Structures are given as C-alpha cells and as structure tokens.
Copies of this chain bind each other. A is one copy, B any other.
C-alpha cells in the first residue's frame, strides 16, 4: 500500500483467555513491531472455562471473574497489549444492540489495521461464533457514515479467524501462517498466566509447533529462515495486494 496503515489492531475474544491460546503470538509479534494492539474480552469465561477454579471450592461468580480478569490482564501485559472487559456473561454470551454499538465505538476509536476473532462455526462453543459475528457486524456499523455522522469512519480492515480448539470440526481452515518463533517465549509466558487451564499449556505448544512445520511447507523460497512456531489464521475477506510472490 502506498500509504502506511495505522499501526493498530483489534482482538475480539469471547472469553478472557481465548486471545492467549489463539492469537498470543500475533499480538506479541505486532506489539514488538510498534503496533498498538487492543483486546476486547466479551466475558470472563466464568461459567464455561473456569472449571479448575470452581473445583477449588469457596468460589462465587465474583471471585471467579476477578481471578480470570487478573490472569487476562497479566497475559495482555506480557504480550504488550491493552485489554478491556465487556463482562457480558458467558454460556451464553448475552449480547444486545447496546454491546454491538459499544464495540462499533471501539472500532472507531482504535481504527484497527486488522482484526482477530473466532471461527465462524464452533459446535463445541456457541459463544465463539457469536463473538465473531459481533466483531464483524460492529465493523460494518463503524464503516457507515450514517452511524454517528461526523466521526471518522473505519476502512475495511482485514478480519481473521484465529484457531479454534478442534479446527476440522469447526470448518476452520488456515489460509495464513504467521511465523511467531521470535515471540514464542512471550506467548508461552502469557499462556502460563492461565493457571486455571494448565491442561491446555502443552496442547497449544504442540499446536504452535505443528503450524510451524506446516508454515515451512508453504514457503515459496528455499532459502527461508527457520520457522519453529507459527499461528494459523483464516481470512474472512479477500486481500488487496501489489505483488503475488
């Protein structure tokens, strides 16, 4: 592009840990290159993704949420991103038109160069596609001159679906691999903030290694640098480019 895009990005995460497993590398990598990455956590995942916390006993919804908020904030700090919490409740996410417009306002404020959210389908977790739908519709509204006329509208930032837990069952297919080798240590540190989901640490380490191998299989040149860890993303929209190599 002749004009350099704003160095900002927006991540819409259904529950407070999703952005770590699924996009922690992309966040850390772009942050390390000067991007201001902003994360919106729609819920704390207090019902659906806090099993270990509840099993501790003596927990209330408030204490679970507080623990989850702390973990997410710590992870965002490590990755170098800002984070805000909509606290909509999970299982199910309880979204009204007010939240849609609130997220549209975040788009207007952030003016993201790209957007990350969930897969369009997930039979294991209905909150995930709901979050993606919200992210997409809020973008559409933020693009409209007739919404809060006079404000700076957003352009057409690319939207990517990050990796769900069981990719094939979600009809998710990566068409972009991002080399995250140089920020892997940060991602793994952020992962370790998720004390309540320790069973996933090694799972997502293996995901990153597998995607790294696959990325190497799709590089167009033989002398490419070594890729060890990668993240996969699926584009929602076509991209505009000036070179096909």
Contacts and interface: CB of A to CB of B under 8 A. Distances in A.
Interface stretch (A73-81, A176-184, A187-195): A176-184
A146 B219 contact: no
A214 B166 contact: yes
The DSSP consensus for interface residues of chain A is loop
Interface in A163-179: 165-169, 171-179
Interface of A: 1-3, 5-7, 9, 26, 29-30, 33, 35, 46-51, 54-55, 59, 61, 64, 91-92, 94, 97, 100, 113-114, 116, 123-126, 133, 136-137, 140-141, 144-147, 149, 153-158, 160, 165-169, 171-179, 202-203, 206-207, 209-210, 213-215, 217-225, 227, 230, 232-233, 235-245
A128 B154 CA distance: 20
A207 B211 CA distance: 11
The number of times this chain is found in the oligomer is 6
Given A3-B224, A94-B97, A218 B237 contact: yes
Nearest to A111: B222
B54 A146 contact: yes
Contacts of A227: 240
29 contacts: A1-B219, A2-B224, A9-B244, A30-B244, A30-B245, A35-B245, A47-B141, A50-B146, A51-B146, A92-B137, A123-B237, A124-B140, A125-B140, A154-B222, A158-B220, A160-B244, A165-B217, A166-B217, A168-B174, A169-B237, A175-B238, A177-B239, A177-B241, A178-B241, A178-B244, A203-B210, A218-B237, A218-B238, A224-B240
Nearest to A158: B220
A233 B244 contact: yes
A126 to B, nearest CB: 5
Given A126-B140, A140-B124, A114 B244 contact: yes
A149 B114 contact: no
A56 to B, nearest CB: 10
Contacts of A167: 167-168
Nearest to A153: B222
Contacts of A160: 244
A64 B144 CA distance: 14
Contacts of A168: 167-168, 172-174
